[in-house]
């Protein structure tokens, strides 16, 4: 619910960073004594960022307050807004909600001075959330009303979504179920609108990439034609020069004959000397001409050779661009197919159920009969959307890998409750064989998504009372994970296509649906983190999916103490 003003990547655990933070504090104090308040504020803020990221909120809050004091001296309103908001967020972490309320109110006033209505609305929502925590519900509603008015004025749907979500909680706490339901419906509607706009934007990006590829193909073809025309013109020019040289040789021979006829009347000795001189000059001219011709021919040969190499390179680029264009078109068609087919059906079912309930056609008994299947469809749709959005982002824009050290057993115990419920509903047992001291060095969110997808697939292809075991062990400088199940197994034909470029899917043991996105997304994320993924299976006896990622031991000295999770600030 709270809006973070500063945003940094996860901070690796390093003694060097702690020393750097202390150095920033000393430098800030030096600048304060020299009346360089802007630099002092910046260094206090850097040090505070470190302590906040490494779970020392009291120290961070103190340094942020010193930075705020410096910013006020030079009337730096932008810095005042950021620092005031961060102090409020730390107060929320420390459950000092009265201080948080005052800080967010101050942040709203500073944002008002800056004319940044979006930040004013964000601060009002933060303040309302703290008021909610201390049961000042009417004041929370008033703050939300102000934020909602501003968000509607500037057209910020994400701020409206946050406000509607908090309205739902406040009215629910007040016992006003009608208003709580109304705002929940508004929150649901605007969330869907935001998702639809995001999908449209990504579709537009895909179309733009296709158009750019087509434009590049046109340019390359034009360059190819221009090169061929230039070579043809050079061939004509060389032919013309050769004809001129032949004509010059012919004229030289004719002049030689004229000279011989004129000198025939002179003395024999003089005529012989003259003839020898003339022949010498002719030989020199012929040799010179031959050298020129050879040089022209050699130059033309090199030019043709360069042109051929250029044409080969251009043809290779054209083929590569055509293949990339074909992949993009295939990707776009597959995404449209998934969106139009697999998302439309569950959403249409939900809308139909709501309409029947509102019109009174569906009673309690009928509702109970369809709610189980509808719940499965909605759960599948949620999982599909997450995989679809993450995979589309990695394919169309590229995905940044935020590597950090994290504990493996924590993401298993904290994030897999939903999968346990899914397994229990199918009477499938899940066990974990992971040492609590094992730490990885990778993108935590990506690895969590990979484990969730592989475990969900294992549940999908298990029969009732089958077993799933998730294990991890050190292997050289890497960690090797295994998700093993005793389900129906995979045929050799299917195994050959599991991690290919084409999406492959099949129904589960209880007719569960899939899209084929999960394993492709797993392969992309594991390779982005420097590992590899493979599978082993025996039809009718179960399957094992393996993947490797770097271990924290490969980057951490032996005498370091590993912090299990770093915080993004």
pTM (2 d.p.): 0.40
Q: Comparing 4 with 471, which gets the higher pLDDT?
A: 471
Q: Residue 372: what pLDDT?
A: 57
Query: Which of 173-177, 361-365, 412-416 has the weakest average pLDDT?
Result: 361-365
Same fold? 15-202, 401-554: no
Q: Residue 41: what pLDDT?
A: 94
Name the DSSP class of 56: -
Q: Residue 567: what pLDDT?
A: 27
Helix or strand (DSSP H, E) at 542: strand 542-550
**Of the candidates 118, 167, 107, 164, which has an alpha carbon nearest to the alpha carbon of residue 140?**
167
Query: Which of 88-92, 165-169, 243-247, 403-407 has the weakest average pLDDT?
Result: 243-247
What is the token pair recorded at 359?
């019109």
What is the token pair recorded at 341?
């087919």
Domain 401-554 has CATH 3.40.1080.10: no
Residue 563 scores a pLDDT above 90 = no
Q: Residue 374: what pLDDT?
A: 61
Q: Residue 544: what pLDDT?
A: 94
**Which residues have a Cβ under 8 Å from the Cβ of 422 and sit 6 or more positions away?**
379, 456, 459
Residue 428: pLDDT band (50, 70, 90) is very high
The pLDDT tens digits for 181-231 are: 999 999 999 998 888 888 888 877 767 776 676 677 677 677 777 877 777
Cα(397)–Cα(60) distance, rounded to whole angstroms? Answer: 35
Spans of all domains in the chain: 15-202, 207-338, 401-554
Q: Which of 45-54, 252-261, 490-499, 559-568 has the highest mean pLDDT?
A: 45-54
Q: Residue 340: what pLDDT?
A: 53
The pLDDT tens digits for 101-137 are: 999 999 999 999 999 999 999 999 999 999 999 999 9
Q: Are strands 429-433 and 467-475 parallel, antiparallel or unpaired?
A: parallel
Check the CA dihedral 229-235-239-241 and report its sign: positive
Q: Comparing 384 with 425, which gets the higher pLDDT?
A: 425
Q: Residue 569: what pLDDT?
A: 24
Residue 481: pLDDT band (50, 70, 90) is very high
What's the whole-number mean pLDDT along residues 380-395? 62
Query: Which of 68-72, 167-171, 347-351 has the weakest average pLDDT?
Result: 347-351
Cα(103)–Cα(61) distance, rounded to whole angstroms? Answer: 12
What's the whole-number mean pLDDT along residues 508-536? 84
The pLDDT tens digits for 327-347 are: 667 666 666 655 555 555 566
How many residues belong to the chain?
A: 569
Query: Which of 100-109, 155-164, 284-293, 491-500 has the weakest average pLDDT?
Result: 491-500
Residue 397 scores a pLDDT above 70 = no
CB 121, CB 156: distance < 8 Å: yes
Q: Residue 336: what pLDDT?
A: 62
Q: Residue 157: what pLDDT?
A: 92
Q: Residue 2: what pLDDT?
A: 43
Query: Which of 297-306, 349-358, 461-470 has the weakest average pLDDT?
Result: 349-358
What's the whole-number mean pLDDT along residues 159-187? 93
Neighbouring CB atoms inside 10 A of 224's CB total 15
Q: Residue 346: what pLDDT?
A: 62
CB 346, CB 380: distance < 8 Å: yes
The percentage of residues in the chain with a pLDDT greater than 90, rounded to a whole number, is 39
Name the DSSP class of 469: E
Name the residue with tokens 């075991």.
469
CATH superfamily, with its number, for domain 15-202: Tetratricopeptide repeat domain (1.25.40.10)
């Amino acid at each position: 619910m709270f809006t973070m003003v500063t945003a940094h990547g996860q901070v690796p655990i390093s003694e060097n960073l702690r020393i750097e933070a202390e150095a920033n504090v000393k430098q800030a104090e030096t600048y304060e004594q020299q009346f360089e308040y802007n630099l002092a504020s910046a260094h206090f803020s850097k040090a505070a960022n470190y302590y906040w990221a490494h779970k020392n909120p009291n120290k961070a809050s103190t340094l942020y307050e010193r930075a705020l004091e410096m910013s006020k001296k030079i009337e730096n309103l932008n810095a005042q807004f950021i620092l005031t908001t961060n102090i409020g967020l730390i107060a929320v972490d420390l459950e000092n909600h009265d201080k948080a309320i005052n800080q967010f109110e101050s942040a709203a006033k500073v944002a008002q001075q800056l004319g940044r209505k979006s930040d004013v609305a964000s601060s009002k929502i933060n303040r309302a959330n703290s008021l909610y925590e201390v049961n000042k519900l009417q004041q929370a509603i008033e703050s939300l009303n102000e934020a909602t008015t501003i968000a509607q004025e500037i057209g910020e749907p994400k701020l409206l979504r946050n406000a509607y979500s908090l309205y739902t909680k406040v009215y629910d706490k007040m016992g006003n179920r009608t208003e709580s339901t109304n705002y929940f419906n508004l929150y649901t509607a605007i969330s869907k609108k935001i998702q639809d706009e995001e999908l449209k934007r990504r579709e537009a990006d895909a179309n733009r990439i296709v158009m750019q590829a087509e434009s590049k193909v046109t340019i390359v073809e034009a360059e190819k034609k221009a090169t061929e025309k230039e070579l043809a013109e050079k061939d004509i020019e060389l032919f013309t020069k050769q004809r001129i040289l032949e004509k010059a040789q012919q004229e030289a021979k004719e002049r030689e004959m004229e000279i011989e006829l004129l000198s025939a009347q002179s003395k024999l000795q003089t005529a012989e000397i003259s003839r020898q001189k003339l022949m010498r000059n002719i030989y020199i001219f012929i040799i010179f001409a031959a050298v020129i011709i050879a040089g022209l021919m050699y130059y033309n040969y090199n030019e043709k050779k360069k042109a051929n190499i250029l044409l080969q390179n251009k043809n290779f680029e054209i083929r590569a661009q055509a293949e990339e264009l074909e992949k993009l078109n295939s990707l776009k068609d597959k995404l449209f197919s998934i969106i139009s087919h697999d998302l439309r059906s569950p959403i249409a079912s939900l809308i139909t159920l709501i309409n029947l309930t509102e019109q009174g056609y569906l009673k309690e008994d009928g509702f109970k009969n369809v709610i189980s299947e509808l719940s499965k469809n909605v759960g599948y749709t949620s999982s599909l959307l997450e995989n679809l959005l993450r995979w589309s982002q990695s394919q169309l824009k590229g995905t940044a890998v935020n590597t950090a050290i994290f504990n493996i057993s924590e993401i298993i115990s904290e994030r897999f409750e939903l999968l346990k419920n899914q397994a229990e509903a199918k009477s499938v047992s899940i066990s974990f064989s992971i040492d609590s001291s094992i730490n990885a060095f990778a993108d935590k969110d990506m690895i969590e998504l990979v484990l969730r997808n592989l475990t969900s697939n294992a549940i999908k292809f298990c029969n009732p009372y089958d077993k799933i075991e998730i294990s991890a062990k050190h292997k050289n400088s890497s960690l090797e994970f295994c998700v093993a199940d005793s389900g129906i197994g995979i045929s050799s034909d299917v195994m050959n296509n599991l991690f290919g470029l084409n999406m492959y899917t099949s129904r589960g043991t209880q007719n569960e649906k899939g899209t084929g996105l999960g394993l492709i997304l797993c392969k992309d994320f594991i390779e982005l983190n420097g590992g590899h993924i493979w599978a082993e299976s025996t039809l009718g006896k179960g399957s094992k999916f393996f993947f490797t990622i770097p271990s924290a031991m490969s980057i951490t000295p032996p005498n370091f103490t590993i912090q299990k999770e770093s915080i993004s600030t």
